[in-house]
Amino acid sequence: MVTIASLWLPILVSAVFVFIMSMLVHMVFKYHSNDFRKFPNEDAVADALRKLNIPDGEYALPKAADMKEFGSAEFQEKVKKGPNLMMTIWGGTAPSMTKELTLWFLYLILVGVFAAYVAGRALEPGAHYLSVFRFAGVTAFACYAMAEIQRTIWWRQSWSNTLKSMFDGLLYALLTGGTFGWLWPAM
């Protein structure tokens, strides 16, 4: 068994590598640039929503209060009439990604901790690179990628967006597994 504390270096280094890869994915490779479509009349939609002064949060339209209302003819008519949507609203803030990038890096460390826990419980110091790679990599892949499928099932995210995000998760998992294999403690 290898303790999580003894794996602090691969946890942090893999987080740095994945952070850099995620920047490359979004700023250089840019295959996520068409994940969201632009409203045909963006200004009119923004003006209409702005006038409603909707508080920050996640919304569904239409939204049933319970399953009884969901099954009602009135609610089903609203669904048929449309539009139907799920959206997140947040107020106007100065463009900055500092909070999000900080939280992203903390998340990367958390994934590393989970990878360290699983690999550390399964393997001993001096374990073969490929064994470490497999345990840490599959754990990281499960953390980074598998929840994307839920977004398609429940929130109608397109399969193409889901598959692109899962591919990102695969890249991140390969980096995590490789880093853990490289920096795994010797006997």
The domain segmentation of the chain, as residue ranges, is 5-36+95-183, 42-89
Provide φ and ψ at 89, rounded to 5°: -115, 135
84-129 confidence digits (pLDDT tens): 999 999 888 877 899 999 999 999 999 999 999 999 999 999 999 9
What does the pLDDT look like over 17-32, one tens digit per residue? 999 999 999 999 999 9
Which helix (H) or strand (E) segment holds residue 86: the answer is: strand 85-89
Give the pLDDT confidence of 26-69 residue by residue, as tens digits.
999 999 999 999 999 999 999 999 999 999 999 999 999 999 99
For residue 7, what are the contacts with CB-CB under 8 A and spacing of at least 6?
116, 119, 120, 180, 183, 185
Under 8 Å between Cβ of 152 and 158: yes
Question: What's this model's pTM, rounded to 2 decimal places?
Answer: 0.92
- Helix axis angle for 8-24 and 159-183, nearest 10°, is 140
For residues 66 and 74, what is the distance between their CA atoms, to the nearest angstrom? 13
